[in-house]
A and B are shown apart, each in its own frame.
Chain A
Protein backbone atom coordinates (compact mmCIF):
# COMPACT_ATOMS: atom_id res chain seq x y z
CA UNK A 1 0.00 0.00 0.00
CA UNK A 2 2.80 2.32 1.08
CA UNK A 3 4.74 1.30 -2.02
CA UNK A 4 1.69 2.19 -4.15
CA UNK A 5 1.43 5.63 -2.53
CA UNK A 6 5.15 6.13 -3.01
CA UNK A 7 4.76 5.17 -6.66
CA UNK A 8 2.10 7.86 -7.08
CA UNK A 9 4.34 10.55 -5.61
CA UNK A 10 7.27 9.33 -7.68
CA UNK A 11 5.13 9.73 -10.79
CA UNK A 12 4.22 13.25 -9.69
CA UNK A 13 7.92 14.10 -9.26
CA UNK A 14 8.78 12.69 -12.66
CA UNK A 15 5.84 14.27 -14.50
CA UNK A 16 6.64 15.17 -18.11
CA UNK A 17 6.93 18.92 -18.45
CA UNK A 18 4.65 18.79 -21.49
CA UNK A 19 1.72 18.04 -19.12
CA UNK A 20 2.61 21.24 -17.26
CA UNK A 21 2.72 23.15 -20.55
CA UNK A 22 -0.69 21.72 -21.47
CA UNK A 23 -2.15 22.76 -18.08
CA UNK A 24 -0.78 26.29 -18.43
CA UNK A 25 -2.07 26.47 -22.01
CA UNK A 26 -5.57 25.43 -20.95
CA UNK A 27 -5.42 27.75 -17.93
CA UNK A 28 -4.59 30.66 -20.23
CA UNK A 29 -7.02 29.88 -23.03
CA UNK A 30 -10.13 28.92 -21.07
CA UNK A 31 -10.71 32.24 -19.25
CA UNK A 32 -10.05 34.15 -22.47
CA UNK A 33 -12.71 32.09 -24.29
CA UNK A 34 -15.13 32.03 -21.34
CA UNK A 35 -14.42 35.21 -19.32
CA UNK A 36 -15.41 35.23 -15.66
CA UNK A 37 -14.63 38.93 -15.07
CA UNK A 38 -13.19 38.47 -11.60
CA UNK A 39 -13.39 41.69 -9.56
CA UNK A 40 -10.23 43.77 -9.29
CA UNK A 41 -9.52 46.00 -6.29
CA UNK A 42 -7.43 49.13 -6.96
CA UNK A 43 -4.23 49.41 -4.93
CA UNK A 44 -3.16 52.75 -3.35
CA UNK A 45 -0.33 53.15 -5.89
CA UNK A 46 -2.64 52.87 -8.91
CA UNK A 47 -5.23 55.11 -7.22
CA UNK A 48 -2.47 57.68 -6.70
CA UNK A 49 -1.58 57.55 -10.42
CA UNK A 50 -5.23 57.93 -11.34
CA UNK A 51 -5.65 60.84 -8.91
CA UNK A 52 -2.54 62.56 -10.30
CA UNK A 53 -4.21 62.73 -13.73
CA UNK A 54 -7.49 63.79 -12.12
CA UNK A 55 -5.67 66.67 -10.44
CA UNK A 56 -4.33 68.16 -13.70
CA UNK A 57 -6.44 71.15 -14.81
CA UNK A 58 -8.66 70.48 -17.80
CA UNK A 59 -7.14 71.55 -21.13
CA UNK A 60 -3.53 71.06 -19.95
CA UNK A 61 -0.92 69.29 -21.99
CA UNK A 62 0.80 66.23 -20.50
CA UNK A 63 4.02 64.69 -21.74
CA UNK A 64 3.62 60.96 -22.30
CA UNK A 65 6.56 58.71 -23.10
CA UNK A 66 5.57 55.17 -24.11
CA UNK A 67 8.78 53.19 -24.05
CA UNK A 68 8.15 49.56 -24.85
CA UNK A 69 8.18 47.07 -27.68
CA UNK A 70 6.00 44.06 -28.60
CA UNK A 71 7.69 41.64 -26.18
CA UNK A 72 6.02 43.31 -23.18
CA UNK A 73 2.96 44.73 -24.92
CA UNK A 74 0.67 42.33 -23.03
CA UNK A 75 1.38 44.34 -19.88
CA UNK A 76 1.97 47.87 -21.14
CA UNK A 77 -0.37 48.21 -24.12
CA UNK A 78 -3.60 47.95 -22.05
CA UNK A 79 -2.00 50.40 -19.61
CA UNK A 80 -1.31 52.89 -22.42
CA UNK A 81 -4.85 52.60 -23.74
CA UNK A 82 -6.38 53.11 -20.29
CA UNK A 83 -4.18 56.13 -19.47
CA UNK A 84 -4.75 57.68 -22.93
CA UNK A 85 -8.50 57.23 -22.53
CA UNK A 86 -8.31 58.86 -19.12
CA UNK A 87 -6.45 61.85 -20.58
CA UNK A 88 -8.98 62.20 -23.42
CA UNK A 89 -11.90 61.88 -21.02
CA UNK A 90 -10.41 64.60 -18.81
CA UNK A 91 -9.82 66.83 -21.91
CA UNK A 92 -6.07 66.75 -21.36
CA UNK A 93 -3.79 66.84 -24.40
CA UNK A 94 -1.13 64.13 -24.41
CA UNK A 95 2.06 64.96 -26.31
CA UNK A 96 3.29 61.45 -27.00
CA UNK A 97 6.73 60.13 -27.89
CA UNK A 98 8.74 56.94 -27.67
CA UNK A 99 12.41 56.18 -27.16
CA UNK A 100 12.06 52.68 -28.59
CA UNK A 101 12.49 52.12 -32.35
CA UNK A 102 9.74 49.48 -32.45
CA UNK A 103 7.44 51.60 -30.29
CA UNK A 104 5.58 53.75 -32.87
CA UNK A 105 3.60 50.82 -34.32
CA UNK A 106 2.22 49.93 -30.90
CA UNK A 107 1.51 53.55 -30.03
CA UNK A 108 -0.45 54.03 -33.24
CA UNK A 109 -2.54 51.00 -32.32
CA UNK A 110 -3.10 52.26 -28.76
CA UNK A 111 -4.04 55.70 -30.09
CA UNK A 112 -6.47 54.16 -32.58
CA UNK A 113 -8.26 52.22 -29.81
CA UNK A 114 -8.27 55.05 -27.26
CA UNK A 115 -9.21 57.84 -29.68
CA UNK A 116 -12.03 55.77 -31.22
CA UNK A 117 -13.41 54.98 -27.76
CA UNK A 118 -13.27 58.59 -26.53
CA UNK A 119 -13.79 60.41 -29.85
CA UNK A 120 -10.37 62.07 -29.83
CA UNK A 121 -8.66 63.38 -32.97
CA UNK A 122 -5.03 63.86 -33.99
CA UNK A 123 -3.84 67.52 -33.78
CA UNK A 124 -7.04 68.44 -31.92
CA UNK A 125 -6.73 66.21 -28.85
CA UNK A 126 -3.24 64.76 -29.06
CA UNK A 127 0.11 64.99 -30.86
CA UNK A 128 2.29 61.98 -31.63
CA UNK A 129 5.91 63.04 -32.02
CA UNK A 130 7.21 59.57 -32.90
CA UNK A 131 10.53 57.93 -32.09
CA UNK A 132 13.81 59.59 -31.27
CA UNK A 133 17.05 57.70 -30.65
CA UNK A 134 19.36 58.65 -27.85
CA UNK A 135 17.65 57.61 -24.61
CA UNK A 136 19.24 59.77 -21.91
CA UNK A 137 20.28 62.48 -24.39
CA UNK A 138 16.66 62.80 -25.54
CA UNK A 139 15.34 63.01 -21.98
CA UNK A 140 17.91 65.74 -21.28
CA UNK A 141 16.86 67.50 -24.47
CA UNK A 142 13.20 67.37 -23.46
CA UNK A 143 14.13 69.69 -20.63
CA UNK A 144 15.48 72.30 -23.02
CA UNK A 145 14.12 72.16 -26.55
CA UNK A 146 11.42 69.66 -27.53
CA UNK A 147 10.84 71.22 -30.96
CA UNK A 148 14.57 71.07 -31.63
CA UNK A 149 14.53 67.36 -30.88
CA UNK A 150 11.36 66.78 -32.88
CA UNK A 151 11.26 69.28 -35.78
CA UNK A 152 8.50 67.09 -37.29
CA UNK A 153 5.90 64.86 -35.70
CA UNK A 154 5.44 61.19 -36.57
CA UNK A 155 3.25 62.06 -39.57
CA UNK A 156 5.71 64.59 -40.99
CA UNK A 157 4.02 67.83 -39.89
CA UNK A 158 6.34 70.57 -38.65
CA UNK A 159 5.96 70.84 -34.87
CA UNK A 160 6.17 74.63 -35.22
CA UNK A 161 2.98 74.53 -37.28
CA UNK A 162 1.01 72.34 -34.84
CA UNK A 163 -1.30 74.51 -32.74
CA UNK A 164 -1.16 72.17 -29.75
CA UNK A 165 2.64 72.51 -29.67
CA UNK A 166 2.52 76.28 -29.19
CA UNK A 167 3.99 77.37 -25.85
CA UNK A 168 5.29 73.85 -25.29
CA UNK A 169 9.03 73.30 -25.47
CA UNK A 170 10.33 71.85 -22.23
CA UNK A 171 9.49 69.72 -19.21
CA UNK A 172 8.54 72.86 -17.32
CA UNK A 173 5.59 73.45 -19.70
CA UNK A 174 3.88 70.26 -18.56
CA UNK A 175 2.02 69.89 -15.27
CA UNK A 176 2.51 66.12 -15.42
CA UNK A 177 4.92 63.62 -16.94
CA UNK A 178 3.76 60.09 -17.69
CA UNK A 179 6.24 57.35 -18.52
CA UNK A 180 5.05 53.84 -19.31
CA UNK A 181 8.25 51.91 -19.66
CA UNK A 182 9.68 48.45 -19.78
CA UNK A 183 13.28 49.49 -19.23
CA UNK A 184 15.65 51.78 -17.36
CA UNK A 185 14.43 54.71 -19.45
CA UNK A 186 12.10 55.28 -16.50
CA UNK A 187 15.22 56.05 -14.42
CA UNK A 188 16.18 58.86 -16.79
CA UNK A 189 12.74 60.45 -16.52
CA UNK A 190 12.84 60.18 -12.73
CA UNK A 191 16.40 61.50 -12.50
CA UNK A 192 15.96 64.34 -14.99
CA UNK A 193 12.26 65.14 -15.45
CA UNK A 194 11.01 64.50 -11.93
CA UNK A 195 14.11 65.33 -9.87
CA UNK A 196 16.05 67.98 -11.81
CA UNK A 197 13.01 69.77 -13.28
CA UNK A 198 10.73 68.99 -10.31
CA UNK A 199 7.88 67.83 -12.53
CA UNK A 200 5.13 65.65 -11.03
CA UNK A 201 5.42 62.23 -12.61
CA UNK A 202 3.57 58.94 -12.74
CA UNK A 203 5.13 55.73 -13.89
CA UNK A 204 3.87 52.50 -15.44
CA UNK A 205 6.17 49.48 -15.52
CA UNK A 206 6.09 45.74 -16.03
CA UNK A 207 5.21 43.71 -12.93
CA UNK A 208 8.80 42.46 -12.67
CA UNK A 209 10.20 46.00 -12.80
CA UNK A 210 7.60 47.71 -10.65
CA UNK A 211 9.17 46.70 -7.33
CA UNK A 212 12.38 48.51 -8.34
CA UNK A 213 10.51 51.82 -8.25
CA UNK A 214 8.92 51.59 -4.80
CA UNK A 215 11.70 53.69 -3.24
CA UNK A 216 10.91 56.54 -5.69
CA UNK A 217 7.27 56.29 -4.72
CA UNK A 218 8.00 56.61 -1.02
CA UNK A 219 10.36 59.54 -1.70
CA UNK A 220 7.53 61.20 -3.73
CA UNK A 221 9.75 61.44 -6.83
CA UNK A 222 6.90 59.65 -8.56
CA UNK A 223 3.30 60.21 -7.51
CA UNK A 224 1.82 56.92 -8.64
CA UNK A 225 2.88 53.56 -9.98
CA UNK A 226 0.99 51.22 -12.29
CA UNK A 227 2.58 47.79 -12.16
CA UNK A 228 2.04 45.17 -14.84
CA UNK A 229 -1.22 43.79 -16.15
CA UNK A 230 -2.64 43.84 -12.62
CA UNK A 231 -1.97 47.57 -12.37
CA UNK A 232 -3.50 48.14 -15.80
CA UNK A 233 -6.58 46.13 -14.76
CA UNK A 234 -6.88 48.25 -11.60
CA UNK A 235 -6.64 51.39 -13.73
CA UNK A 236 -9.34 50.09 -16.07
CA UNK A 237 -11.54 49.43 -13.04
CA UNK A 238 -11.04 53.00 -11.80
CA UNK A 239 -11.95 54.18 -15.30
CA UNK A 240 -15.03 51.96 -15.33
CA UNK A 241 -13.97 50.18 -18.51
CA UNK A 242 -13.29 46.54 -19.36
CA UNK A 243 -10.20 46.32 -21.54
CA UNK A 244 -7.55 43.73 -22.34
CA UNK A 245 -6.01 43.97 -18.85
CA UNK A 246 -9.22 43.04 -17.00
CA UNK A 247 -9.88 40.28 -19.51
CA UNK A 248 -6.30 39.06 -19.08
CA UNK A 249 -6.52 39.00 -15.28
CA UNK A 250 -8.85 35.97 -15.37
CA UNK A 251 -6.21 34.02 -17.29
CA UNK A 252 -3.41 35.30 -15.05
CA UNK A 253 -5.39 34.31 -11.94
CA UNK A 254 -5.97 30.76 -13.14
CA UNK A 255 -2.37 30.27 -14.27
CA UNK A 256 -1.10 31.54 -10.89
CA UNK A 257 -3.38 29.06 -9.11
CA UNK A 258 -2.11 26.24 -11.36
CA UNK A 259 1.52 27.15 -10.61
CA UNK A 260 0.83 27.31 -6.85
CA UNK A 261 -0.89 23.91 -6.93
CA UNK A 262 2.02 22.45 -8.93
CA UNK A 263 4.57 23.84 -6.47
CA UNK A 264 2.62 22.48 -3.48
CA UNK A 265 2.26 19.10 -5.20
CA UNK A 266 5.98 19.02 -5.97
CA UNK A 267 6.84 19.72 -2.34
CA UNK A 268 4.31 17.16 -1.05
CA UNK A 269 5.77 14.57 -3.42
CA UNK A 270 9.31 15.31 -2.31
CA UNK A 271 8.27 15.10 1.35
CA UNK A 272 6.36 11.83 0.81
CA UNK A 273 9.25 10.20 -0.99
CA UNK A 274 11.74 11.22 1.70
CA UNK A 275 13.44 13.91 -0.35
CA UNK A 276 12.79 16.50 2.36
CA UNK A 277 13.67 15.55 5.92
CA UNK A 278 11.74 17.63 8.49
CA UNK A 279 14.31 19.45 10.62
CA UNK A 280 14.90 22.68 12.43
CA UNK A 281 17.62 25.09 11.27
CA UNK A 282 19.23 26.12 8.02
CA UNK A 283 21.73 24.42 5.77
CA UNK A 284 21.22 23.06 2.32
Chain B
Protein backbone atom coordinates (compact mmCIF):
# COMPACT_ATOMS: atom_id res chain seq x y z
CA UNK B 1 0.00 0.00 0.00
CA UNK B 2 2.90 2.36 0.74
CA UNK B 3 5.05 1.46 -2.25
CA UNK B 4 2.99 3.51 -4.72
CA UNK B 5 3.06 6.83 -2.79
CA UNK B 6 6.78 6.37 -2.08
CA UNK B 7 7.53 5.89 -5.80
CA UNK B 8 5.39 8.91 -6.76
CA UNK B 9 7.15 11.05 -4.11
CA UNK B 10 10.59 9.91 -5.24
CA UNK B 11 9.89 10.48 -8.94
CA UNK B 12 8.23 13.88 -8.40
CA UNK B 13 11.02 15.09 -6.12
CA UNK B 14 13.81 13.80 -8.34
CA UNK B 15 12.26 15.19 -11.54
CA UNK B 16 11.65 18.64 -9.98
CA UNK B 17 15.22 18.84 -8.68
CA UNK B 18 16.59 17.82 -12.08
CA UNK B 19 14.36 20.31 -13.90
CA UNK B 20 15.63 23.17 -11.75
CA UNK B 21 19.12 22.66 -13.15
CA UNK B 22 18.06 22.14 -16.79
CA UNK B 23 17.86 25.50 -18.57
CA UNK B 24 16.01 24.09 -21.64
CA UNK B 25 12.64 25.80 -22.16
CA UNK B 26 10.78 22.46 -22.20
CA UNK B 27 12.04 21.77 -18.70
CA UNK B 28 10.94 25.22 -17.52
CA UNK B 29 7.50 24.76 -19.09
CA UNK B 30 7.15 21.41 -17.33
CA UNK B 31 8.02 23.03 -14.02
CA UNK B 32 5.44 25.77 -14.66
CA UNK B 33 2.78 23.15 -15.40
CA UNK B 34 3.57 21.22 -12.23
CA UNK B 35 3.40 24.41 -10.20
CA UNK B 36 0.03 25.19 -11.81
CA UNK B 37 -1.21 21.87 -10.44
CA UNK B 38 -0.43 23.25 -6.99
CA UNK B 39 -2.50 26.30 -7.91
CA UNK B 40 -5.45 24.07 -8.82
CA UNK B 41 -5.23 22.39 -5.43
CA UNK B 42 -5.24 25.84 -3.77
CA UNK B 43 -8.37 26.74 -5.76
CA UNK B 44 -10.20 23.73 -4.32
CA UNK B 45 -9.04 24.84 -0.87
CA UNK B 46 -10.54 28.29 -1.59
CA UNK B 47 -13.90 26.75 -2.51
CA UNK B 48 -13.80 24.51 0.56
CA UNK B 49 -12.87 27.49 2.75
CA UNK B 50 -15.74 29.59 1.38
CA UNK B 51 -18.25 26.78 1.99
CA UNK B 52 -16.92 26.27 5.50
CA UNK B 53 -17.07 30.03 6.22
CA UNK B 54 -20.65 30.17 4.96
CA UNK B 55 -21.74 27.13 7.00
CA UNK B 56 -20.14 28.40 10.20
CA UNK B 57 -21.64 31.89 10.04
CA UNK B 58 -25.02 30.66 8.83
CA UNK B 59 -25.23 28.40 11.89
CA UNK B 60 -24.29 31.32 14.15
CA UNK B 61 -27.02 33.51 12.64
CA UNK B 62 -29.64 30.75 12.92
CA UNK B 63 -28.77 30.15 16.56
CA UNK B 64 -28.49 33.89 17.29
CA UNK B 65 -25.08 33.22 18.89
CA UNK B 66 -22.86 35.93 20.40
CA UNK B 67 -21.98 38.56 17.79
CA UNK B 68 -24.35 37.02 15.23
CA UNK B 69 -24.88 40.40 13.60
CA UNK B 70 -21.22 40.38 12.50
CA UNK B 71 -21.85 37.01 10.90
CA UNK B 72 -24.67 38.61 8.88
CA UNK B 73 -22.18 41.26 7.67
CA UNK B 74 -19.72 38.50 6.73
CA UNK B 75 -22.34 36.54 4.79
CA UNK B 76 -23.67 39.60 2.96
CA UNK B 77 -20.11 40.69 2.11
CA UNK B 78 -19.13 37.21 0.89
CA UNK B 79 -22.20 36.86 -1.27
CA UNK B 80 -22.34 40.46 -2.48
CA UNK B 81 -18.69 40.88 -3.44
CA UNK B 82 -18.63 37.49 -5.18
CA UNK B 83 -21.84 38.24 -7.11
CA UNK B 84 -20.81 41.74 -8.21
CA UNK B 85 -17.32 40.51 -9.07
CA UNK B 86 -18.68 37.74 -11.31
CA UNK B 87 -21.29 39.99 -12.97
CA UNK B 88 -19.37 43.26 -13.38
CA UNK B 89 -15.71 42.37 -12.99
CA UNK B 90 -13.30 43.95 -10.53
CA UNK B 91 -11.86 46.91 -12.47
CA UNK B 92 -11.91 50.51 -11.24
CA UNK B 93 -15.40 52.01 -11.43
CA UNK B 94 -17.20 48.73 -10.77
CA UNK B 95 -18.96 48.02 -7.46
CA UNK B 96 -16.15 45.70 -6.35
CA UNK B 97 -13.60 48.35 -7.34
CA UNK B 98 -15.41 50.92 -5.19
CA UNK B 99 -15.76 48.51 -2.26
CA UNK B 100 -12.06 47.77 -2.54
CA UNK B 101 -11.06 51.45 -2.54
CA UNK B 102 -13.56 52.68 0.05
CA UNK B 103 -13.78 49.72 2.41
CA UNK B 104 -11.03 47.14 1.99
CA UNK B 105 -8.05 49.46 1.55
CA UNK B 106 -8.80 51.79 4.50
CA UNK B 107 -9.75 48.86 6.79
CA UNK B 108 -6.64 46.84 5.98
CA UNK B 109 -4.40 49.90 6.44
CA UNK B 110 -6.12 50.76 9.73
CA UNK B 111 -5.68 47.25 11.09
CA UNK B 112 -1.98 47.31 10.27
CA UNK B 113 -1.43 50.84 11.58
CA UNK B 114 -2.87 49.84 14.96
CA UNK B 115 0.35 47.87 15.38
CA UNK B 116 2.22 51.13 16.02
CA UNK B 117 0.14 51.73 19.15
CA UNK B 118 0.51 48.21 20.49
CA UNK B 119 4.23 48.07 19.71
CA UNK B 120 4.79 51.34 21.59
CA UNK B 121 2.93 49.98 24.61
CA UNK B 122 4.66 46.59 24.42
CA UNK B 123 8.10 48.21 24.04
CA UNK B 124 7.49 50.30 27.17
CA UNK B 125 6.62 47.22 29.20
CA UNK B 126 8.95 44.61 27.73
CA UNK B 127 12.19 46.40 26.76
CA UNK B 128 13.93 46.17 30.12
CA UNK B 129 17.68 45.99 30.76
CA UNK B 130 17.42 43.00 33.10
CA UNK B 131 20.71 41.36 32.03
CA UNK B 132 23.61 41.84 29.62
CA UNK B 133 21.82 40.27 26.62
CA UNK B 134 18.67 42.31 27.18
CA UNK B 135 20.77 45.48 27.61
CA UNK B 136 22.55 44.80 24.30
CA UNK B 137 19.19 44.34 22.60
CA UNK B 138 17.83 47.49 24.21
CA UNK B 139 20.82 49.64 23.20
CA UNK B 140 20.76 48.27 19.63
CA UNK B 141 17.02 48.89 19.35
CA UNK B 142 17.40 52.48 20.56
CA UNK B 143 20.28 53.14 18.14
CA UNK B 144 18.22 51.70 15.26
CA UNK B 145 15.03 53.53 16.21
CA UNK B 146 16.79 56.88 16.43
CA UNK B 147 19.35 56.35 13.69
CA UNK B 148 16.93 55.12 11.02
CA UNK B 149 14.74 58.24 11.10
CA UNK B 150 15.48 61.78 10.02
CA UNK B 151 15.73 63.10 13.56
CA UNK B 152 18.71 60.80 14.25
CA UNK B 153 21.11 63.04 12.37
CA UNK B 154 20.07 66.02 14.48
CA UNK B 155 20.70 64.15 17.71
CA UNK B 156 24.15 62.86 16.68
CA UNK B 157 25.86 62.76 13.30
CA UNK B 158 27.23 59.32 14.13
CA UNK B 159 23.82 57.65 14.35
CA UNK B 160 23.29 56.95 10.61
CA UNK B 161 26.78 55.42 10.07
CA UNK B 162 26.34 53.36 13.24
CA UNK B 163 22.99 51.98 12.03
CA UNK B 164 24.57 51.22 8.63
CA UNK B 165 27.33 49.28 10.40
CA UNK B 166 24.79 47.36 12.48
CA UNK B 167 22.89 46.43 9.32
CA UNK B 168 25.92 45.65 7.18
CA UNK B 169 28.00 43.66 9.67
CA UNK B 170 26.19 41.93 12.57
CA UNK B 171 22.83 41.79 10.77
CA UNK B 172 24.32 40.53 7.51
CA UNK B 173 26.41 37.89 9.29
CA UNK B 174 23.39 36.64 11.25
CA UNK B 175 21.12 36.63 8.19
CA UNK B 176 23.68 34.66 6.17
CA UNK B 177 24.06 32.13 8.96
CA UNK B 178 20.29 31.75 9.26
CA UNK B 179 19.86 31.46 5.47
CA UNK B 180 22.56 28.79 5.18
CA UNK B 181 21.09 26.92 8.16
CA UNK B 182 17.58 27.02 6.69
CA UNK B 183 18.91 25.90 3.30
CA UNK B 184 20.80 22.93 4.72
CA UNK B 185 17.81 21.99 6.89
CA UNK B 186 15.43 22.16 3.93
CA UNK B 187 17.75 20.03 1.77
CA UNK B 188 18.13 17.36 4.44
CA UNK B 189 14.36 17.27 5.15
CA UNK B 190 13.55 17.10 1.44
CA UNK B 191 16.10 14.32 0.84
CA UNK B 192 14.69 12.30 3.75
CA UNK B 193 11.19 12.54 2.25
CA UNK B 194 12.28 11.90 -1.36
CA UNK B 195 14.39 8.87 -0.39
CA UNK B 196 11.61 7.47 1.79
CA UNK B 197 13.54 7.75 5.06
CA UNK B 198 10.92 10.07 6.55
CA UNK B 199 7.49 8.54 5.88
CA UNK B 200 5.49 10.51 8.43
CA UNK B 201 3.54 12.26 5.63
CA UNK B 202 1.96 8.89 4.76
CA UNK B 203 0.25 8.76 8.15
CA UNK B 204 0.24 5.85 10.56
CA UNK B 205 0.61 2.34 9.18
Chain B residue nearest to A261 in the complex (CB): B124
**Contact residues in B for A207 (Cβ distance below 8 Å):** 148
Chain B residue nearest to A137 in the complex (CB): B35
The residue that A140 contacts in the complex, of B31, B91, B121, with Cβ under 8 A, is B31
Chain A residue nearest to B97 in the complex (CB): A105
- Whether A249 lies near B149 (C-beta < 8 A) is yes
CB neighbors of A among B58-85 (8 A) = none
Is A154's CB within 8 Å of the partner chain B? yes
A1-9, A54-62, A119-127, A211-219: which lies at the B interface?
Answer: A211-219
The smallest beta-carbon distance between A39 and chain B, in angstroms, is: 6
- Whether B91 lies near A155 (C-beta < 8 A) is yes
- Whether B171 lies near A214 (C-beta < 8 A) is yes
Is A183's CB within 8 Å of the partner chain B? no
9 new A-B pairs (CB below 8 Å) besides A137-B36, A215-B175? A20-B120, A23-B120, A38-B154, A41-B160, A140-B31, A144-B32, A211-B175, A266-B127, A267-B128
- Whether A40 lies near B150 (C-beta < 8 A) is yes
**Cα distance, A218 to B36, chains bound together (Å):** 33
- Whether B151 lies near A144 (C-beta < 8 A) is no
**Residues 125-160 of chain B, each 1 if its beta carbon lies under 8 Å from chain A, else 0:** 101111111000010011001101111111000001
The smallest beta-carbon distance between B164 and chain A, in angstroms, is: 7
| Chain B: interface size category | 35 or more
CB neighbors of B among A203-226 (8 A) = 207, 211-212, 214-215, 218
The residue that B129 contacts in the complex, of A28, A250, A267, A283, with Cβ under 8 A, is A267
Binding site for A on B (CB under 8 A): 23, 25, 28-29, 31-32, 35-36, 38-39, 90-92, 97, 100-101, 104-109, 111-113, 116-117, 119-121, 123-125, 127-133, 138, 141-142, 145-146, 148-154, 160, 164, 167-168, 171-172, 175-176, 179
A66-74, A80-88, A90-98: which lies at the B interface?
Answer: A66-74
**Cα distance, A24 to B120, chains bound together (Å):** 8
The smallest beta-carbon distance between B108 and chain A, in angstroms, is: 4
- Whether B142 lies near A263 (C-beta < 8 A) is yes
The smallest beta-carbon distance between A45 and chain B, in angstroms, is: 9
- Given the interface pairs A155-B91, A215-B172, the reply to whether A259 lies near B120 with Cβ below 8 Å is yes
**Contact residues in A for B153 (Cβ distance below 8 Å):** 39, 41
A-B contact pairs, 10 of them (CB 8 A): A20-B121, A21-B117, A72-B112, A74-B109, A102-B104, A105-B101, A196-B23, A214-B167, A257-B151, A262-B123
Most buried by A among B23, B25, B35, B142: B35
**Cα distance, A255 to B119, chains bound together (Å):** 11
**Cα distance, A201 to B23, chains bound together (Å):** 20
**Cα distance, A154 to B92, chains bound together (Å):** 10
The residue that A260 contacts in the complex, of B31, B128, B130, B142, with Cβ under 8 A, is B142
**Residue count of chain A within 8 Å CB distance of chain B:** 69
- Whether A38 lies near B151 (C-beta < 8 A) is yes
Binding site for B on A (CB under 8 A): 15, 17, 20-21, 23-25, 28, 38-41, 43-44, 69-74, 102, 104-106, 108-109, 133-134, 136-137, 140-141, 143-144, 154-155, 196, 207, 211-212, 214-215, 218, 230, 233, 249-250, 252-260, 262-267, 270, 275-276, 281-284
**Cα distance, A255 to B167, chains bound together (Å):** 21
- Whether B149 lies near A253 (C-beta < 8 A) is yes
**Contact residues in B for A105 (Cβ distance below 8 Å):** 92, 97, 100-101, 104-105
- Whether B90 lies near A281 (C-beta < 8 A) is no
**Cα distance, A265 to B138, chains bound together (Å):** 13
Chain B residue nearest to A21 in the complex (CB): B117
**Contact residues in B for A264 (Cβ distance below 8 Å):** 142
The smallest beta-carbon distance between B89 and chain A, in angstroms, is: 9
**Cα distance, A101 to B43, chains bound together (Å):** 13
**Contact residues in B for A276 (Cβ distance below 8 Å):** 128-130
**Contact residues in A for B36 (Cβ distance below 8 Å):** 134, 137
- Whether B148 lies near A230 (C-beta < 8 A) is yes
- Whether B109 lies near A141 (C-beta < 8 A) is no
The residue that B176 contacts in the complex, of A25, A215, A267, with Cβ under 8 A, is A215
**Cα distance, A155 to B89, chains bound together (Å):** 11
Chain A residue nearest to B36 in the complex (CB): A137
- Given the interface pairs A28-B116, A102-B100, A259-B145, the reply to whether A140 lies near B32 with Cβ below 8 Å is yes
The smallest beta-carbon distance between B47 and chain A, in angstroms, is: 14
